[in-house]
Structures are given as structure tokens and as C-alpha cells.
């Protein structure tokens, strides 16, 4: 029996800071015939990873239309709210339904953010495309529901979910190392300079920073000026990250309290599944929902230095394994696939 066909239309693939897309595709590939289009090449300050699925770079929407007519997909799927306009146009042109997974940066309306721009100029657009019968649904973090509804998205088109990770790959209950880590895209909202400062406040812990793309050069320069208190790691292939987590006792995820636009980082769930204690900047009330009782949120670095100077409490560590399950892509993938049609399809010209 032929597998249902899914056409992924992504802005940029395979970018190393966006492995949630990879985890989703990995979980679906055995049951679906998947084709991937990336609209942009991975170049410049971005970093790609090697162990990716086959894909094509197609920048011209007219060429994407040709692919749709040739591949004849059951559904179009994409990530990030910023792609929904193109997705809806292609869906209407070819009479193919679509779904989309929203994320953090596109649904947090802080001043100057993508979310803020949606509030100022995108209300009518989002209301129109999500009310179209071709829109089968949007997956989003629980905190994004009020935002999406405010923009006119019907409540029944929004499906709450945690970020997705390959839980089985990271699950490891063996003992961890003693180091402290931080990871993520090296951009202002992550405020990685705080991690450098924190390293000077804690004795007898080695600090390792895994910055990805963008402003890595600047954080390296600052580290040099401070006397190299932190080891800054070269990009690690996602498939090799489980072993890196196991070297660490704590993950400290820094974030800018002014921008407040860091969402629910995948590394929190990955670390919890790996037995690593997590400490995340307390920039919004929803952060605690993601961390649960399986970690700590902080308001200042002095609190963090006190927490990570001690071993991870065993109770917190055990709760981490359970909290991370909420992000297990194999457990929650049906939130997406239950939206998709599975019968035979045909596109209109």
C-alpha cells in the first residue's frame, strides 16, 4: 500500500540550530513518503549539518508549484508562522490542504519581533488563511494560543503541543559528568555573555559553551578579553549531541530579560532526558510550565551560581526524565498526523 505523500516546504534546511524539523521528519519517514523543499541555501553565518534527509533548494514559487503537481502530495507542511502566506497561496493554487508548526520567535509579540509585526500588520492575513478549509491546523506551544486567537485563528485550528525531540536518542540514566554547559543560536536574545560571567562566579566547575552560527565571533572575542573562562566548542553534529550532554551536570540556558523572546528551547528537554539538571532564565511565566518541577528558573546569576555549585538533586533529575517525555516526538506526532488526509488525492491545475 502506498504511503501518504507529504511535501515539506521549509525556509531553510538543514540548519543546525533547527533540529526540531529533523526530529519530526525522522519520526514520520517510515510511514510517509516525504519530499523536502528548502527555499534558501544554508550559507553565510548559518551552519548546516551532515546527517540530513534529501532535499531540493527551490526559490521560485512557480517551480514549487511544478513540484506539487508532479509529487501530488496529500498535504503541504511547513514550520514557522512566517511561511504561512506562501503555504496558503500554494495550497489554494493547487487545491492541496496544509498544516504548519509554529515556534517561539514567531509567536512571542515582544517589541520589534516577528510576533510584534504580526500583531501590527498581519491580523487580517492570518485570520483569512487559517479560516480557509484548506488549513487543517496549526501546532503551537501552549503559551502561543492567546496570541494566535488574537490574530483571528479559530480556536479549533490551534493544537497545543510541546517542542519535539528524539527522546529515545537522548534518554540515558547513567551518571553524568561535572561540567556546566549552555547551547543554542548565538544571537542577542540568548544573552550568552551571561554564561561567561557566570563562569567567573563558580569554582570547581568547567564551563562549556556550544554556540551555533550568527554571532559566534563576538562571543569568542569577549571570552578572550575575559581570559578564556569558558571553552567554546565547535559545532557538533546533532546526532553526536547525546554524548556531549552526558559530560555535564548542569545546563544553564541564558536569555535576555529585556527582549523576553526566547521560547521553549529543545536543549531543555534534551538535557532532562540526558540526566542533566536545567536552569533557565525566568523571562516569562510560561517558562516554568516548560521546565516543570524538573528544573529551576532564575532571576539573577547569583541564584544560578548557588544552584549549580551543588550536584543536581536526585528528585529533580528523576522528574527530568518524565518532563522530557512531554516533548517526545514519537509520543506526540499523532497531534500532527491525525490532521492529515490519508486517502487518494488529485491536484487541480
Among 27, 112, 22, residue whose Cα is nearest residue 38: 22
Q: Which three cell numbers stand for residue 53?
A: 534527509
| Domain annotation covers residue 26 | yes
Closest among 37, 32, 29 to 67, alpha carbons compared? 37
Residue 41, H or E segment: none
* Residue 44 clears pLDDT 60, i.e. is over it: no
Average pLDDT value for residue range 128-157: 96
Percentage of residues of the chain with pLDDT beyond 70: 96
Question: What DSSP element (H or E) covers 38?
Answer: strand 33-40
Question: Which CATH number covers residue 274?
Answer: 3.40.50.2000
More confident residue, 157 or 109: 157
Residue 103 lies in a domain: yes
pTM of the model: 0.93
Q: For the ranges 33-47, 218-232, 237-251, which has the lowest average pLDDT? A: 33-47
pLDDT at 346 over 60: no
Q: What is the pLDDT of residue 224?
A: 97
DSSP annotation string for 285-304 = THHHHHHTTSSEEESSHHHH
Per the structure, the complete domain to which residue 72 belongs is given by: 5-161
Tell me how far apart the alpha carbons of residues 152 and 126 are, in angstroms, rounded to a whole number.
7
Are 173 and 265 in a shared domain? Answer: yes
In a domain, 24, yes or no: yes
Q: Is residue 172 part of a domain?
A: yes
Average pLDDT on 244-272 reads 95
Average pLDDT on 222-243 reads 95
What is the reported pLDDT for 315? 98
More confidently predicted of 310 and 45 = 310
What integer pLDDT is reported at residue 43 of this predicted model? 61
Of 171, 166, 170, 144, the residue nearest 155 (C-alpha): 144
For the stretch 57-97, pLDDT in tens is 999 999 999 999 999 999 999 999 989 999 999 999 999 99
Record the cell numbers describing residue 86, joined without a space.
506562501
Q: Is residue 177 part of a domain?
A: yes
195 and 147 share one domain = no
* pLDDT reading at 338 higher than 70: yes
Domain boundary among 128, 161, 194: 161
Helices (H), the chain: 19-28, 61-71, 84-94, 114-121, 123-131, 145-150, 167-170, 193-199, 216-225, 241-245, 266-273, 286-291, 301-308, 314-324, 329-332, 334-337
Residues 316 and 172 in one domain: yes
Domain boundary among 101, 132, 161: 161
- Residue 310: the pLDDT is 97
Residues 129 and 32 in one domain: yes
Dihedral sign, Cα of residue 140, residue 146, residue 152, residue 157: positive
Query: What does pLDDT average to over the chain?
Result: 93
Average the pLDDT over 177-203 and give the result: 96
* CB contact at 8 A, 167 and 330: yes
User: 180 and 117: one domain?
Assistant: no
Cell of 146: 492567546
Mean pLDDT of 168-183: 98
* Predicted confidence band of residue 345 (pLDDT cuts 50, 70, 90): low
Residue whose C-alpha cell is 551532515? 50
The DSSP 8-state label assigned to residue 15 in this structure reads B
- Looking at the structure of the chain, the number of domains it has is 2
Given a cut of 80, whether residue 213 has pLDDT beyond it is no
Range in 99-113, 124-138, 223-237 with the lowest mean pLDDT: 99-113
pLDDT value of residue 333: 97
Which residue in 95, 32, 108, 50 sits closest to 69, CA to CA?
Answer: 95
Q: Which three cell numbers stand for residue 172?
A: 540515558
Asked if 241 and 270 count as a contact pair (C-beta separation under 8 A), the reply is yes
Q: Which residue has the higher pLDDT, 119 or 320?
A: 320
Percent with pLDDT over 90 in the chain:
79
- Let me know: does 242 contact 266? Beta carbons within 8 Å: no
Examine residue 14 and say whether the peptide bond preceding it is cis (omega within 30 degrees of 0). yes
Instruction: Categorize the per-residue pLDDT at 17 as very low, low, confident or very high, splitting at 50, 70 and 90.
Output: confident
Instruction: Provide the H-helix boundaries in 122-276.
Output: 123-131, 145-150, 167-170, 193-199, 216-225, 241-245, 266-273
Residue 11 shares a structural domain with residue 133:
yes
* Residue 332 within a domain: no
Count of alpha carbons within 13 Å of 209, Cβ hemisphere only? 27
Residue 45: per-residue pLDDT = 47
| Reported confidence tier of residue 348, pLDDT bands at 50, 70, 90 | very low
Q: How far apart are CA 273 and CA 174, in angstroms?
A: 11
- Gap between the Cα atoms of 168 and 258, Å rounded: 35
Extract the C-alpha cell encoding 49: 549539518
> CATH code at 44?
3.40.50.11930
Task: Give yes or no: residues 138 and 175 share one domain.
Answer: no
Q: What is the pLDDT of residue 175?
A: 98
**Same-domain pairing of 152 and 174:** no
Q: Give the end of a domain, one of 103, 134, 161.
A: 161
Q: What average pLDDT does the segment 286-290 reach?
A: 97
Amino acid at each position: 500500500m502506498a504511503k501518504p505523500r507529504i511535501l515539506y516546504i521549509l525556509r531553510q534546511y538543514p540548519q543546525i540550530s533547527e533540529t526540531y524539523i529533523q526530529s519530526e521528519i525522522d519520526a514520520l519517514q517510515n510511514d510517509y513518503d516525504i519530499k523536502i523543499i528548502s527555499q534558501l541555501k544554508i550559507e553565510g553565518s548559518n551552519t548546516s549539518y551532515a546527517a540530513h534527509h534529501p532535499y531540493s533548494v527551490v526559490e521560485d514559487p512557480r517551480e514549487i508549484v511544478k513540484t506539487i503537481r508532479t509529487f501530488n502530495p496529500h498535504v503541504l507542511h511547513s514550520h514557522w508562522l512566517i511561511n504561512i502566506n506562501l503555504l496558503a497561496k500554494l495550497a489554494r493554487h493547487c487545491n492541496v490542504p496544509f498544516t504548519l508548526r509554529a515556534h517561539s520567535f514567531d509567536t512571542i509579540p515582544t517589541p520589534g519581533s516577528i510576533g510584534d509585526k504580526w500583531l501590527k500588520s498581519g491580523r487580517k492575513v492570518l485570520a483569512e488563511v487559517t479560516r480557509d478549509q484548506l488549513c487543517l491546523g496549526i501546532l503551537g506551544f501552549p503559551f502561543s494560543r492567546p496570541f494566535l486567537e488574537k490574530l483571528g485563528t479559530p480556536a479549533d485550528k490551534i493544537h497545543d503541543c510541546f517542542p519535539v525531540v528524539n527522546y529515545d536518542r537522548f534518554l540515558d540514566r547513567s551518571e553524568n559528568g561535572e561540567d556546566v554547559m549552555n547551547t543554542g543560536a548565538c544571537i542577542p536574545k540568548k544573552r550568552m555573555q551571561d554564561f561567561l560571567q557566570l563562569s567567573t562566579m563558580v569554582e570547581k566547575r568547567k564551563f562549556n559553551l556550544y554556540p551555533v552560527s550568527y554571532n559566534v565571533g563576538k562571543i569568542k572575542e569577549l571570552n578572550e578579553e575575559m581570559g578564556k573562562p569558558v571553552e567554546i566548542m565547535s559545532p557538533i553534529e546533532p546526532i553526536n549531541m547525546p554524548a556531549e550532554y552526558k559530560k555535564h551536570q548542569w545546563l544553564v540556558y541564558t536569555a535576555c530579560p529585556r527582549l523576553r523572546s526566547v521560547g521553549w528551547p529543545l536543549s531543555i528537554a534534551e538535557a532532562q532526558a540526558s540526566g542533566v539538571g536545567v536552569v533557565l532564565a525566568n523571562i516569562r511565566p510560561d517558562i516554568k510550565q516548560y521546565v516543570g518541577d524538573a528544573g529551576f528558573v532564575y532571576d539573577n546569576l547569583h541564584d544560578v551560581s548557588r544552584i549549580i555549585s551543588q550536584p543536581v538533586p536526585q528528585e529533580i533529575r528523576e522528574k527530568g526524565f518524565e518532563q522530557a517525555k512531554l516533548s517526545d516526538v514519537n509520543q506526540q506526532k499523532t497531534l500532527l498526523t491525525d490532521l492529515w488526509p490519508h486517502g487518494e488525492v488529485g491536484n487541480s491545475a
